[in-house]
């Protein structure tokens, strides 16, 4: 089966099982089967250059063109190409977005669109804490204790809908710190929650991922609530990208996109259920705004979150990143060289960029070069960049404390404490970059037994340091998730049974406590370890 048409039009994943899919059963919608023609093909506007009209690209649209030497596959004359943009947009209730940053007026900010155009959100009775459940019936309370009462020494709240206020607070307190793991200025904690009440797109993105996270970790909210907010995001994004009269700032667009990619990551239980729509959309938006990497503010913070998300996808599937490196690398290197003194934020971003380049160099089967060098020359140039980072980093990146591993005490990893989350994040990225380069060296070159033994020791040393940071950080979600992605990419190089047991337990705890789906990689990792034991 190809999934039902109902889920396709709602831009949601379909379980593709049974006569009626689970989403349609839960939501009470009619499950309409999708057309079954095997020859039916669809192309997305803005991602396929041949479908774009003449003239300059529209906002958010890719400016890619096919090269002159493009090899084309012969196709039957029965194929036809159809632009489905208007048809798809017609399936949604469009929320008009006016003003440069898609903001509401002060009065509109007090009553969110969900309280005006939609019925109460579906979900169990305990979707919010019991002590505020009585006020869920409407977006405003009319009791004597209402915020509108003259006895209250406060102005009208930004969000009158208590469900939405609760979800936005959950995002700010529990999810935004994940996205700020490499950002000393904490833009997602400090800026997004404050600006969300003035931007429906940003607000619904935050509410969607919060509802999804709570449905997976606490089971207090129905998944349909998250899907509902996700649909509203799509209904706003489509007209914004397709029509010039709908304007939105690049910072809001990028931050909303990486939050929606976060939603995809924690809601996709298997690789086949990860649509990667927002990861692909992010690469299109970012490629058309190269300056966002160095512009500062929320736009730059969103760019670096996107790079981390791209890294996570690449590590999970051992594939290259979607981001085009050349224009960004040139801009970033010139930017860093021109600065008299690099901040901690710059050093963290350099570490993230080093890992992104390393992944692209190691996983690219087509032999993409590095800094105009290929093979050994490219490898040497990348290793030199890693050494430059390690030799030039400021003293603030020195750990507060390191204790060696003690396998006899059940501790196969070192205890590593850093003073801040972003320092830990940067060192994790560099350790993984070094491990991947060593693994590539081990697999490519014909070394002696002694040389290969030394390489394996260096690989284990870097991986164990990375894992030690995660285990030493008091269950910091972003560091745990980074360690799990490193495990996905390097599980075959971990042969200590004690380390294997601890890391496998970390996978399961991260899924249970943080809502990150790892079940689909557990069998792959176990298979790799069983192969090592043989």
User: Lowest-confidence range among 103-112, 268-277, 328-337?
Assistant: 103-112
Return the number of other C-beta atoms located less than 10 Å from residue 517's C-beta: 17
DSSP 1-64: ---BHHHHHTT------SSS-HHHHHHT---PBPP--TT-----TTTSGGGS-SSSPPTT----
Average model confidence (pLDDT) for the chain? 79
Owner of token pair 């259920």: 273
Dihedral sign, Cα of residue 319, residue 324, residue 326, residue 328: negative
Tens of pLDDT, residue by residue over 416-431, are 999 999 999 999 999 9
Q: What are phi and psi of 406, to 5 degrees?
A: -140, 90
494 falls within a domain: no
Task: Give the pLDDT score at 259.
Answer: 94
Q: Which of the listed ranges 144-148, 224-228, 369-373, 455-459 does the model predict with the highest average pLDDT? A: 455-459
Residue 223 in tokens: 């998944």
Residue 284 in tokens: 């299109």
Q: Cα–Cα distances in Å, from 224 out to 120, 138, 142, 188, 399?
A: 12, 19, 28, 25, 44
4 or 148, which is more confident: 4
Task: Give the pLDDT score at 271.
Answer: 55
User: Lowest-confidence range among 283-292, 295-304, 429-438?
Assistant: 283-292
| CATH number of the domain encompassing residue 14 | 4.10.240.10
Domain boundary among 273, 305, 321: 321
Tens of pLDDT, residue by residue over 195-222, are 998 899 999 999 999 999 999 999 889 8
Task: Give the pLDDT score at 153.
Answer: 62
71 falls within a domain: no
- Give the CA count within 13 Å in the CB-facing half-sphere of 509: 16
374 falls within a domain: no
125 or 436, which is more confident: 436
Residue environment code for 177-193, b if the CB has 16+ CB neighbours within 10 A, otherwise e? bbbbbbbbbbbbbbbbb
**Domains: count for the chain:** 2
User: Lowest-confidence range among 93-102, 322-331, 429-438?
Assistant: 93-102
Max Cα separation, the chain?
82
430 falls within a domain: no
DSSP state of 105: P
Task: Give the pLDDT score at 276.
Answer: 64
132 falls within a domain: no
206 falls within a domain: yes
Domain range for 211: 176-321
Task: Give the pLDDT score at 114.
Answer: 41
373 or 380, which is more confident: 380
Q: 55 falls in which pLDDT band (50, 70, 90)?
A: low
Cα gap 472→103, rounded to integer Å: 42
> Averaged over 513-522, what is the pLDDT?
88
Domain boundary among 321, 338, 362: 321
Domain boundary among 290, 321, 352: 321
- Alpha-carbon torsion angle 416, 419, 421, 426, nearest 10: -70
Cα gap 70→107, rounded to integer Å: 54
251 falls within a domain: yes
Residue 94 in this model has a pLDDT that exceeds 60: no
Dihedral-angle region of residue 413 (phi above 0 means left; psi in -120 to 50 means alpha; beta otherwise): beta
434 falls within a domain: no
Residue 230 in this model has a pLDDT that exceeds 70: yes
Cα gap 333→121, rounded to integer Å: 48
């Amino acid at each position: 089966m190809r999934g039902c048409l109902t889920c396709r039009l709602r831009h949601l994943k379909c379980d593709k099982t049974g006569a009626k899919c689970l989403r349609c059963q839960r939501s009470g919608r009619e499950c309409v089967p999708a057309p079954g023609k095997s020859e039916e093909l669809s192309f997305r506007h803005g991602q396929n250059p041949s479908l774009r009209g003449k003239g300059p690209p529209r906002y958010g649209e890719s400016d890619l063109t096919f090269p002159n030497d493009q090899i084309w596959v012969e196709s039957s004359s029965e194929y036809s190409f159809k632009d489905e943009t208007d048809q798809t947009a017609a399936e949604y209730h469009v929320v008009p977005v006016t003003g440069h940053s898609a903001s509401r007026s002060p009065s509109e900010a007090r009553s969110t669109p969900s309280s005006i155009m939609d019925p109460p959100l579906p979900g169990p009775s305990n979707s919010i804490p019991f002590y505020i459940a009585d006020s869920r019936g409407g977006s405003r309370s009319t009791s004597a204790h209402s915020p509108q009462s003259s006895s209250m020494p406060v102005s009208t709240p930004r969000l009158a809908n208590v469900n939405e206020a609760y979800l936005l607070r959950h995002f700010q307190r529990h999810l935004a710190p994940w996205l700020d793991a490499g950002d000393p200025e904490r833009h997602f904690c400090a800026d997004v929650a404050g600006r969300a009440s003035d931007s429906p797109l940003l607000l619904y993105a935050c509410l969607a991922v919060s509802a999804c996270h709570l449905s997976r970790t606490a089971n207090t909210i129905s998944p349909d609530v998250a899907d509902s907010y996700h649909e509203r995001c799509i209904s706003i994004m489509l007209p914004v990208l397709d029509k010039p009269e709908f304007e939105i700032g690049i910072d809001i667009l990028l931050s909303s996109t990486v939050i929606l990619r976060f939603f995809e990551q924690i809601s996709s239980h298997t690789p086949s259920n990860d649509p990667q729509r927002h990861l692909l959309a992010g690469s299109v938006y970012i490629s058309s705004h190269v300056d966002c990497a160095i512009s500062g503010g929320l736009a730059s913070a969103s760019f670096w979150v996107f790079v981390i998300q791209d890294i996570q996808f690449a590590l999970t599937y051992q594939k290259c990143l979607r981001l085009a490196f050349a224009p960004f690398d040139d801009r970033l290197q010139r930017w860093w060289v021109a600065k008299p003194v690099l901040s901690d934020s710059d050093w963290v971003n350099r570490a993230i960029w080093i890992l992104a380049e390393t992944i692209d160099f190691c996983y690219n089967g087509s032999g993409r070069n590095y800094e105009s060098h290929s093979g050994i020359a490219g490898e040497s140039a990348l290793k030199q960049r890693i050494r430059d980072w390690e030799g030039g980093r400021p003293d603030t990146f020195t750990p507060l404390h390191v204790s060696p591993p003690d396998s006899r005490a059940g501790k196969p990893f070192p205890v590593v404490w850093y003073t801040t989350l972003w320092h830990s994040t940067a060192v994790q990225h560099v350790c993984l970059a070094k491990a991947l380069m060593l693994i590539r060296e081990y697999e490519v070159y014909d070394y002696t037994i002694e040389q290969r033994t030394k390489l394996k020791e260096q690989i284990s040393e870097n991986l164990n340091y990375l894992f030690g940071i995660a285990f030493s950080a008091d269950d910091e979600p972003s560091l745990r998730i980074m360690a799990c992605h490193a495990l996905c990419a390097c599980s075959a190089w971990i042969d200590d049974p004690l380390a294997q047991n601890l890391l496998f337990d970390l996978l399961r705890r991260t899924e249970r406590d943080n809502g990150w789906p790892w079940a689909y990689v557990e069998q792959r990792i176990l298979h790799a370890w069983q192969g090592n034991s043989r």
